Structure 1
């Protein structure tokens, strides 16, 4: 139902591309490009390691973490489901058991740092996503919260996965997923209309076109040219309210388009954008994990 927090039925592992395990192999290869000298010290004795959580948040990145240790000859037993919110225990211990990893000591240590880095970042992004979405819902916002393409090179799959687990939309995954015309695209082509028409020539009917605009006049030009999505970039909360109302009244029954607001959105000011009566889709730059 619109406005509810997204609930995923089944494992999100099923949407991962065939290449995801090879990506994990590359991470392990990066960390051990030649000899594992410390591995000689510890050897192959079977042992057990416990993953402890010390901060409240959403568990995310389970398939990646499990595969990391699988490639190191270990098995992982999870004590918390992916997507669940883990709170700090009230018994004063300040930590909780998240998973148990079993295997040869060398394998446990080979996967340790890669696994922890992955899980911390993915869980952090999922937690930020969920917390922000809850804040927006409490303010009356019933639209979509989406991420951006401002991801860490080589780590996009993990970061977008974290957004999904947290309940956010991934937006476009890459340059091939959708055409987004920003100010530099428009500048190089001459104007918004020419840029949209050029994009339509190569994108065809199946690829959506989004145009970034700085004011209502540019939004009108983008809509008239046939843009599917109009991004109101760096508008204030009040500016979004005024522009959204005006554009929808002006183009009602004439053009179909979607509005999106991006730029300058933070956890401490989202209420300014949520309380605008008829909110557009919002994007939020996830830069930390």
Structure 2
């Protein structure tokens, strides 16, 4: 079984500590009310979702001296009829309630993204698209690691994790540099051989300039599905005739779950979608202390 938790270093533990600190910046008045009695709380899933974010959920309660036992696995696609028990949290009442909202916010958001990603991934398989479908860097500040983790659990690619993961030269970079060629040359002078350079292009002519300048990836941005297929085919054939095919073509801009199948074609290597992480409904979970 794939263990995406093994990808996590140690920084996520500090993230969890920061989330908890944000939620209790002063006194925990509710915790005073419930006290120190040992309790068991049941985690219920009450809507369709792909379970994602277990390591973060566990860490919330670990930092509060609680223990979690799971009745499901990360990546399970749940379709509860009413509500379904998926985990139990053991610990002092005030500690369970101290972590309740933070843990629920994390797993609800992460599982919603994983569900969206799984649906896109299943559509990709059903249509036989051989390229990569990726999320984008349009994530929630402070929550990126959780959201990108949900993308992975759902079965899609995370694309860039941050600005140092790959060099992406968009329209503002080009305009500020003066030309695509100059922007690519400037980028290569500092990123060296280890990083790929991607250039956002609005036309075949811009794509040709980017490839000639040494770009590893050209992004055809905001093309319609038919425009994209024609342009990608033309670019690949033109450069293959010159003996150069060591570049990738990515499509991006306004692509959604409902429209992405129209963009699937042989010439497209990467399809990126911001809607994998943006505007995604949360999955409904609740945590109830047993009487």
Relative to the length of structure 1, the TM-score reads 0.93
Q: Is the 8 A contact 1:214 1:232 kept in 2?
A: yes
What's the secondary structure of 1:153's corresponding residue?
Answer: coil
Match of 2:286 in 1: none
Match of 1:279 in 2: 268
Match of 1:270 among 255, 260, 279: 260
Distance in structure 1 (CA, Å) of the matches to 2:128 and 2:273: 18
Q: CA deviation at 1:142?
A: 1.7
What's the secondary structure of 2:150's corresponding residue?
Answer: helix
Q: Is the 8 A contact 2:185 2:213 kept in 1?
A: yes
What's the secondary structure of 1:66's corresponding residue?
Answer: helix
Q: CA deviation at 1:136?
A: 2.3
Q: Is the 8 A contact 1:141 1:279 kept in 2?
A: no
Query: After the TM superposition, which parts of structure 1 deviate over 2 Å for at least 4 consecutive aligned residues?
Result: 276-280
User: Is 1:185 the equivalent of 2:173?
Assistant: yes
Q: Is the 8 A contact 2:236 2:245 kept in 1?
A: no
TM-superposition CA deviations, 1:28-52 (whole Å, max 9, x none): 0111112111111100101111111
Question: How many pairs does the alignment contain?
Answer: 276
User: Is 1:12 the equivalent of 2:4?
Assistant: yes
Which 5+ residue runs of structure 2 have no aligned equivalent?
Answer: 283-291
Q: CA deviation at 1:84?
A: 1.2
Distance in structure 2 (CA, Å) of the matches to 1:243 and 1:256: 17
Q: CA deviation at 1:87?
A: 1.8
Distance in structure 1 (CA, Å) of the matches to 2:266 and 2:173: 32
User: Is 1:213 the equivalent of 2:201?
Assistant: yes
Match of 1:6 in 2: none
Q: Is the 8 A contact 1:185 1:195 kept in 2?
A: yes
1:59-208 → structure 2 map (5 Å cutoff): 59-89=51-81, 94-208=82-196
Relative to the length of structure 2, the TM-score reads 0.92
Q: CA deviation at 1:128?
A: 0.3
Distance in structure 2 (CA, Å) of the matches to 1:164 and 1:247: 31
Distance in structure 1 (CA, Å) of the matches to 2:89 and 2:97: 11
What's the secondary structure of 1:27's corresponding residue?
Answer: helix
- Deviates most, 248-257 or 53-62: 248-257
Which 5+ residue runs of structure 1 have no aligned equivalent?
Answer: 1-8
Match of 2:251 in 1: 261
Q: Is the 8 A contact 2:67 2:90 kept in 1?
A: yes
Match of 2:221 in 1: 233
The higher-RCO structure (CA 8 Å, 6+ apart) is 2
What's the secondary structure of 2:55's corresponding residue?
Answer: helix
Q: CA deviation at 1:278?
A: 3.4
Q: Is the 8 A contact 1:231 1:260 kept in 2?
A: yes
Match of 2:14 in 1: 22
